[in-house]
Amino acid sequence: MSEILRRLIILFAVLLCAMSASAALIWLERRLLALWQDRYGPNRVGPFGLMQVMADMIKIFFKEDWIPPFADRPVFVLAPAIIVIAILLSYAVIPFTPAIVISDLNIGVLYFLAMSSLGVYGIVLGGWASRSKYALLGSMRAAAQLLSYEVFMGLSLMGVVMMAGSFDLRTIVEAQRKIWFFIPQLPGFLTFFIAGLAETHRLPFDLPEAESELVDGYHIEYSGLKFGMFFVGEYLGITLISLFTATLFFGGWLGPVLPPIVWLLIKTFVFICLFILMRAALPRPRYDQLMSVAWKLLLPLSLLNFLATAGVLLALR
C-alpha cells in the first residue's frame, strides 16, 4: 500500500509540475524572444509581466467556447483532449531521479515513441472534424510531417539503446556515468532534436499551422478552452522533448555536487531555451524543403549512425 501511495504522490506531483511549467513557458518564451529580438516583452501586468500568463488564462476560460454548426461535434470536442492525454502519458516513464519515476518500464524508449505517435490522431481528427479546407490542409501536413520525422526519431535512438544495452530509461542514464551519449552519438542527438522540433510543430517546422498560408492550420475553428488545450499541448511537448533529450543524451540526473533533480531541470531548461531560440532566429521553409530534409538528409544520417554504432560495438566485443 505504501508503494502505491508513493507512486500516486509522484504522479500528481509530475502532473502539477508539467501543467505549471507549460503555463510558465508562455511567459518565458515572450521574455526570451523580446531579449533576442531587441524589443520589450511582457512588463505591464505584475512585476516583470509575470501576471500576463494569468490574464491570458482568465481570457481563455471566459471566452466563448464556440463549436461550428457544420463541425462533427463529438470528434471536434475529443481531438484536443487526445493530444494532451498522449503527451501527459509520456511523462510516466521519465526517471527524474533514481527514486522518482511514475512507472519504471523496461521498454521506456518504445513507450515514449508509441505515445508520441498517438498525438497525430488528435491533430488529424481536429482538422477533419472542423470541416474547413484550411484545417484539413493543416492536419494533412501535420500527419505527413509527424509520420516522416517519427521514423528518424526512432532510428536516432537505436544507437543509444545499443550502447546502454537496454530500452529502460533508468539503465540508459546509469550507462552515461563515464561519458554522456551525445559525444559518441552526436549524429543521433542532432537527428533526435530536429525530429523533436518537427513533432512539436515549432519553428522552423510549424508548417501545419502556418499563418501566412493556412490562417491558423488545424485549430482554426477552435476557441476558448479547446484552443487552450492545443496551446498547452504544444508547451507540454516542448518540455517532454527537452526532458528526453537530457535523459537520453546528456546523462539525465547525473552531475556533481547538486541534487539529481536539479541537474535534470538545469539540462531541460537549456533545451527549452534552445527551442525558443529556434523560433527567434530561423525562418520558415517551404513544405517540400521540409520533407526533402527528412528523407534525403536525416534518413541517411540516422541509418549511417545506426550501422556505425553496431559495427563499433561488434568490433569491441
**How high does pLDDT run on average in the chain?**
86
Output the pLDDT for position 212: 63
Residues 53, 20: contact at Cβ < 8 Å?
no
Closest CA to 90 of 205, 194, 169: 169
Residues 251, 264: contact at Cβ < 8 Å?
no
**Could you report the per-residue pLDDT of 207-222, keeping only the tens digit for each?**
767 666 666 677 788 8
Closest CA to 295 of 152, 162, 160: 152
Bond from prior residue into 204 cis (ω within 30 degrees of 0): yes
Of residues 68 and 248, the one with the higher pLDDT is: 248
**Total-model pTM:** 0.92
Map residue 54 onto helix, strand or coil: helix
Q: Which residue has the cell 556533481?
A: 256
Residues 119, 86: contact at Cβ < 8 Å?
yes
Output the pLDDT for position 203: 76
| pLDDT band at residue 54 under the 50/70/90 scheme | confident
The DSSP call for residue 284 is P
Question: Is the pLDDT assigned to residue 1 strictly greater than 60?
Answer: no
Q: Which three cell numbers stand for residue 140?
A: 494533412
Residue 299 half-sphere exposure toward CB, CA atoms < 13 A: 11
**Could you report the per-residue pLDDT of 140-196, keeping only the tens digit for each?**
888 888 888 888 888 899 999 999 999 999 999 999 998 999 999 999 999 999 888
Question: Is the pLDDT assigned to residue 246 strictly greater than 90?
Answer: yes
| pLDDT band at residue 304 under the 50/70/90 scheme | very high
| pLDDT band at residue 299 under the 50/70/90 scheme | confident
Closest CA to 247 of 300, 314, 174: 174
Of residues 248 and 127, the one with the higher pLDDT is: 248
**CA–CA distance from 24 to each of 89, 187, 235 (Å)?**
20, 31, 9
Angle (CA) 179-307-93 rounded to 5° is 55
Q: Which three cell numbers stand for residue 192?
A: 533526435
B/e letters for 77-115, b = 16+ CB within 10 Å, e = fewer, are eebbebbbebbbbbbbbbbbbeebbbeebeebbebbbeb
User: To 10 degrees, the CA torsion angle through 36, 40, 44, 50?
Assistant: 0
Closest CA to 143 of 160, 120, 159, 165: 120
Q: How far is CA 172 from the centre of its chain?
A: 20
